[in-house]
Chain A
Amino acid sequence: GAVVSQHPSRVICKSGTSVKIECRSLDFQATTMFWYRQFPKKSLMLMATSNEGSKATYEQGVEKDKFLINHASLTLSTLTVTSAHPEDSSFYICSARAMGHKAPKETQYFGPGTRLLVL
């Protein structure tokens, strides 16, 4: 099946610094990628929808100036957490929709996630 990677898998940073998380579709093109956030023992919550070549669409309550999303190519989307604070500590998961890929009925593929800890 299609593979989505994320880098880094985990990151620890100091409060006030910025952290960039990469999401790559390894063997298919993804015009649309989604970014989710998941707190411990909670479900995934959509943060934003990232479309290649255009501005991301953010969910209500998600600060676009704090969570910068760039979808510069058909295989890469990045999420930058700016001026991170301890409350931003969470598990960030991206997913990608496979286009033109011989996939089963399910065509949204998830990355392995990035665990962010802000001290």
Chain B
Amino acid sequence: LAKTTQPISMDSYEGQEVNITCSHNNIATNDYITWYQQFPSQGPRFIIQGYKTKVTNEVASLFIPADRKSSTLSLPRVSLSDTAVYYCLVGDRDTGRRALTFGSGTRLQVQP
């Protein structure tokens, strides 16, 4: 499994754009990049998934450079409710095929 590296924590203010970068130097050709969000005392929640270039949904954008050795989760105009831990995972497109290996994640704290 490709190992991922993320910043341990980030701070931001309401209304700002937050970009969380994840390194995955050993990503395999068939691997997808998936981001999960976890609020305190809740289970993780899928945010976005991508393979290359850019993916956007109603929650976030995911930027993946051509070499796919890193990816950046972009949260536009964060609010206090975006305070959570964000996990970057690399693996099957079908994230349910096997158990997920979570790294340390990035703890985002949004201030008013």
Secondary structure type dominating chain B contacts? loop
Q: Are A110 and B49 in contact (CB under 8 A)?
A: no
| Distance from B90 Cβ to chain A, minimum over Cβ atoms (Å) | 14
| Distance from A28 Cβ to chain B, minimum over Cβ atoms (Å) | 11
Q: How many inter-chain contacts with C-beta < 8 Å in the A-B complex? A: 58
Number of residues on chain A facing chain B (CB within 8 A): 27
Closest residue of B by beta carbon distance from A113 = B43
Closest residue of B by beta carbon distance from A2 = B96
Q: Are A44 and B102 in contact (CB under 8 A)?
A: yes
Number of residues on chain B facing chain A (CB within 8 A): 23
Out of B42, B96, B103, B105, name the residue touching A98 (CB < 8 Å): B96
Out of A36, A95, A113, name the residue touching B42 (CB < 8 Å): A113
Q: Are A113 and B41 in contact (CB under 8 A)?
A: yes
**B residues adjacent to A (C-beta < 8 A):** 32, 34, 41-46, 49, 87, 93-105
**A residues adjacent to B (C-beta < 8 A):** 4, 32, 34, 36, 43-46, 49, 91, 93-98, 104-113, 115
